[in-house]
Each structure stands twice: as structure tokens, then as C-alpha cells.
Structure 1
Amino acid sequence: MSETRQPELHVNEEPRNDFIDVGVGFAVSTGIFFLIAIIATILSVISQ
């Protein structure tokens, strides 16, 4: 295991599910933008 250039010897210690990571990131971003839009709408209605 001293040869670092052999990809078949590399052990993946933390396998990730990229599709779930992208989905969670998209959902969190959408939620934050939605929350900002709601706050902006409330402030707009209050200021009138």
C-alpha cells in the first residue's frame, strides 16, 4: 500500500451519494430563497 498511484488500492472511507447531496443542496437553497421572498413580501406590505 506504499504505492499511492494505484487507484485500485485506494480505500474509499466515506462513500457519498452525489444525487442525494445535490437534492439536499437544491432543497435547502430553495427553502432559503423562499424564506427571503416571504420576509421581503411582509416588509413590503408593512411599509405601505
Structure 2
Amino acid sequence: MDANTHVTDPREHINEEPRNDLFDLMNGFFGMLTFMAVIFFGMVIVKFIAG
């Protein structure tokens, strides 16, 4: 019983695109920090305008 199967080594990572994980982490961190800073200063401005 011989099946026509093509087995590839899973360590080849042929479907992965090369990425820099540290750059992705820093990009996400500083992006979220910037987003939160914009929200914070926006809320401070709203507080001073409202009251």
C-alpha cells in the first residue's frame, strides 16, 4: 500500500514571511502609547472647555 504523499519538513517555514519581532513589538507599543496620549490630552482639553 503505497500512497502518493509529499511530506515536507515543517522546520522549513516556507509560508512565513520574514519579520522583525522586536520592531513589531516596539511599533505596537509606541503606537498604543501615542493613541493613549492623544486621548488623554483630548480629555484634558474637553475638561477645561466644559468646566
Could you state the TM-score of these two structures normalised by the residue count of structure 1? 0.79
Distance 1:47 1:15, change over 3 A: same
Ranked by relative contact order (alpha carbons within 8 Å, sequence separation 6 or more), the top structure is: 1
Larger helix fraction of residues: 1
Please, which runs of 5 or more residues in structure 2 have no aligned partner?
Answer: 1-5
How much identity, in percent, do the aligned residues show? 35
Cα deviation 1:17-46 (Å, max 9, x = unaligned): 000000000010000000000100000000
- Give structure 1 regions of 4+ aligned residues with deviation exceeding 3 angstroms: none
Please, which runs of 5 or more residues in structure 1 have no aligned partner?
Answer: none
Could you state the TM-score of these two structures normalised by the residue count of structure 2? 0.75
Say what the alpha-carbon RMSD is for the aligned residues. Answer: 1.6
The yes-or-no answer on 1:45 pairing with 2:44 is no
> Which has the higher Rg, Structure 1 or Structure 2?
2
